[in-house]
Chains A and B, each alone.
Chain A
């Protein structure tokens, strides 16, 4: 009688699994991929955060800098795609650079990604908070409500609430439907186009604040005053394309993995470039780059440019811009939360961090400690920046640009190194595995160094400083040094990862 059970035990495997369970295969077409790409970039949010600081650096050369910022992003993303195609089982800065360069550089690459995403989380939550109050003030017609966000006792708790909600949604693994995502993205684009057309109309009617006729010179990147300005501008504008590479690395999810990703990411970037150019032109021709009033160079306007300009340009419809930015930043908050959480998870899993970070929720199958840690880190970063800086959002975006340069640079060079024995095999390999990622990676790392040096100047960014050093420099270095300290601590306490036992170099 009991043979029944014993026979069953021996005969069949005791675990029955489906490969690639969670991923939705073949579900995304070209249009879907473009929607995903635009949603990851979140143009309404990135523009409001980066347009002001970038214009403050480079003036009317905004379009040129936006274009220039895309080049290193493109070069690095192409290398990303090569790595992703070759190592599809594990693809992120931490695992790639560990496998190419070994544990120490890999660890710092992973830390750079976590730092960048955590910084952008804090910025997203803060922008969402600002526009929440702006929207409420527009609804009730009371401008004083929009000012509430400058009260730290209101601002910090609300920002923390946004972060907590994002952590909770991410932890519960709440899914977004296709229709919801399409609506969000379409709304965002419609509002941005509306805004730029309205800006041009004001310019044409002579009702612009500081009518500035567009000129071809705006597109000339060599017209920028000096290298410091140029670097600062490009490091800011990398941020506005950040996330685009996600479209390149989507494979199995697409209907035709051979064609959809290439087509989708190309269309995405063309649309985004056009959108950015049109808005940059419209904003400058309406407001100019002066440092007074609505001018883009006015430090008062740096926190979020659309908060200042939407009213004068769109009139009563400015509330649409508030809604677009609020939804854009809130949904981006969700999608951005995933990156640091999973990188922390991966680092915990491979014992590069305490193994608690490698825990997955039995109920929701999402990272637990890692998700909460990412949210908490973003909260701490925000509070520190908000208390230390005269203009937290501006400095946050600048620090973010620096971190993105750092980890993108490491990833691109990891690509070069990983493929070092293959790139001579064909012209295609030479270009995509060596030349492009090498140029892109070196450019970004040089930009990281240049930005770090420049940001020591107390006048850099918003002009906040501590002990004669620029706040952006202090924030950036503090983050990296904390990383080094944690890395050394872990290497002493649990050295398996650092001895190459859990995630060995494979070339």
Chain B
């Protein structure tokens, strides 16, 4: 099973690589361990970006190539023994496009990137934002406060899916269920309710949320736990949730807590408030059959079938 890491030879790239390495390491003894493809993107140069005297395109490319290979060697050296890793150097019009093309090329089940920690106005930076808007596979965001110190640290202990009360919850719950099932992890489904604007409807909303997630949890047939986390604001709702060490959180790319928000800012809030790695699941993940088909909770045969079928499930790693 391939994970693609959007790698840059800086602090962010190291975070993404460490997080992905940790997940891969925890599956090293599984039948289908996670393998890492680190993608370094070089942008296409337009010949009409005129370069004056001394620009030396070929000479520059030679230096760039040498540097990229040095970065690649350095990155591969940090991957723990037992984990298969490669570096793909690809050209594209943008970093995000290059990562998506590589994910498609190797049929990746997950993309791991580090959002820009200083993104303005709650943005995660152009690369992570672009990926979350257009990636057909789940995108795991590596931030400093939730990435394990060592790639060989214990892997994930539980999967938590954030679901809202509206459409889109199914995909998240489904991916989380598949992930948990495959890696024999407990599953927790959390509904965030933002209650300040509609006090009168509190009871109805909570009931609605409970109904939805019990429905999803019922179909997941896992040792799942259902939690409704209310709060006057999203921050408050998130703050009330307890976390295990080495957990993975999943949330949908479009809605959270029943209110439409700009994706980047919601993800940013969750990222800030959540002490564990966060996976953003696209509304209709490419590799997941529609969640209402009922029997999807036994993914073992399909994920085991290898990367060529295209019908396998995204998974977030876990302990065997």
Contact = CB atoms under 8 A, between A and B. Distances in A.
Given A22-B64, A246-B53, A360-B64, A28 B59 contact: no
Nearest to B31: A1
A227 B58 CA distance: 40
Interface string B46-74: 11111111111111111111111101110
The 8 closest A-B pairs by CB, nearest first: A339-B54, A21-B91, A92-B56, A90-B59, A5-B84, A362-B9, A338-B51, A336-B52
A43 interface: no
Interface string A2-43: 101110110011111110111110011000100110011000
A81 interface: no
A335 interface: yes
Given A177-B46, A181-B48, A342-B55, A363 B86 contact: no
Contact of B43 (A15, A93, A173, A358): A173
Interface of B: 8-10, 13, 28-31, 33, 35, 42-69, 71-73, 76, 82-91, 95
A70 to B, nearest CB: 16
A297 interface: no
Contact of A90 (B13, B35, B62, B68): B62
Contact of A335 (B50, B56, B82, B89): B50
Contacts of A91: 56, 58-59
A346 B44 CA distance: 21
Interface string A323-353: 0000000011011111110110110010000
Interface of A: 1-2, 4-6, 8-9, 12-18, 20-24, 27-28, 32, 35-36, 39-40, 88-93, 95, 113-114, 116-117, 173-178, 180-181, 242-243, 245-246, 250, 253, 331-332, 334-340, 342-343, 345-346, 349, 358, 360, 362-365
Contacts, number: 191
B8 A363 contact: yes
A21 B95 CA distance: 14
B48 A178 contact: yes
Interface of B is mostly: mixed
B87 A15 contact: yes
A20 B61 contact: yes
Nearest to A332: B52
A176 B48 contact: yes
Contacts of A14: 72, 76, 85-87
Contact of A36 (B28, B48, B89): B48
Contacts of A114: 54
Contact of A4 (B42, B45, B56, B84): B84
Nearest to A358: B63
Nearest to A359: B67
Contacts of B63: 345-346, 349, 358, 360
A2 B33 contact: yes
Contact of A246 (B10, B29, B51): B51
B235 to A, nearest CB: 30
